[in-house]
Amino acid sequence: MNKLNFTKDEGSDFYKELKEKTEQYFTEKSIRKTGNKTMIFKIILYFSLDILFYGLMITSSTTIGFYTFYLLMGLSVLLTAFNISHDAAHGVAVKSKKWNKLLFSFSFNLQGNNAYVWGKNHNESHHMYTNIEGSDIDVLNNPMFRMTESQELKWFHRYQFIYAPFLYLLYSLNWFLFREALMLVNYSSRTIKIEIPRNEVVKLIFFKLLYIGYMIVLPIYLLPFGWATVLLAFLLNHFMVSILFVGVLGVSHLSDYVQHPLPDQDNNLNMSWPKLQLCTSVDYNADSTFLNWTLGGFNAHALHHLLPYVCHVHYLKILPIFRELVKKHGLTYMEMPYRKSLAAHFGFLKGMGTQKTFNPVRYER
């Protein structure tokens, strides 16, 4: 991974004041930056729903009941990831470091993915060097998609905005079956090579087998519906989770409004880290109570990137402070309705598929 040097600019003063004002808010309210009673309720709620829907699925007596509870469990697990796993990965779901680590590892590993690999690379790569090829783990070099100007423009990329939704259906299956496995042999679509410690390799294999066991093998063994019915439910669940996951996160960093900054040959970037976060993130309906609750604050992505040490349950109170300071320091905060951010995502795919040089659309409120 290429480590970069940032430059001081107006974003530096903005970020300094943002941290001061945020600290002042929590001090005056005498509350912690981590989760509160609302977060504790959400933790209990989402884990309870996971267990409830799995129990109902594994004891289903009808095919329609089996499919219904299987998909509801998948949706509940996804919401658990949005609301619990993510904040726990940043150490802010609860006050205790031990419980954050336990919550993150437990919830993430049980999805058949490796918590260590995702947590380390999410915090040290994606959050640090957002949208920068060779430094951000989430920048892909997938031949089916062209996501940066440095990637070769091929004839079929002009259709990527059309076939993207169909490939998006495979996102979580690819993650479960191939993404981490290919990292083990340094053959991955990620633009950075990853080394996984031996003990994490053992965990990776163990939890993938465990996931197959309770999501496929056990239902086949206990229920009378047959292996084909169970496998179809497994696939439908992954299709649903994939399209929702990409729909929530893909529009934030892959948009025709955002930038993919390039460092110079000495790995210097001509902007500050806070400004990088603002020019690479699009927020949608950031002040929506419903989306904050269901998506764990992912719709206020720029705010999250700048203040990852704050639990999402506080975002709605901090958002006015954030907006005021962005305006004061002459910076651009890109926020819009979801439908506009979704259109901008497909505009990005279309532009990257037809233009060798792609210039972001100028954001105007």
Q: What is the pLDDT of residues 310-348, one digit of tens each?
A: 999 999 999 999 999 999 999 999 999 999 999 999 999
Rg (CA), the chain: 21
* Model pTM score: 0.91
Quick count: other Cβ atoms within 10 Å of Cβ 96? Answer: 12
Residue 212 within a domain: yes
| pLDDT score of 340 | 95
Inside any domain, residue 206: yes
pLDDT at 288: 94
Contacts of 189 (CB under 8 A, 6+ apart): 140, 141, 142, 182
Contacts 24+ apart (CB under 8 A), 48-51: 49/76, 49/79, 49/80, 50/76, 50/77, 50/80
Instruction: Say if residue 228's pLDDT is above 90.
Output: yes
With respect to residue 360, please indicate whether it lies within any of the assigned structural domains.
no
Could you tell me if residue 4 is inside a domain? no
Q: Does residue 5 lie in a domain region?
A: no
pLDDT of 30 higher than 90:
yes
Q: What is the pLDDT of residue 323?
A: 95
Residue 359 counted as domain residue:
no
Residue 1 lies in a domain: no
202: Cβ contacts below 8 Å, ≥ 6 apart = none
Mean pLDDT of 158-162: 95
* Range(s) of the domain holding residue 155: 10-354
The sign of the torsion formed by the CA atoms of 293, 299, 303, 307 equals positive
- Number of domains making up the chain: 1
Please state, in angstroms and rounded to a whole number, the distance separating the CA atoms of residues 221 and 40: 35
Residue 148 in domain:
yes
Residue 121 · residue 113 · CB < 8 Å: no
Is the Cβ–Cβ distance between 4 and 134 less than 8 Å?
no
Q: What digits encode the pLDDT tens for the residues 85-140?
A: 999 999 999 999 999 999 998 888 888 888 887 887 788 788 888 988 888 877 77
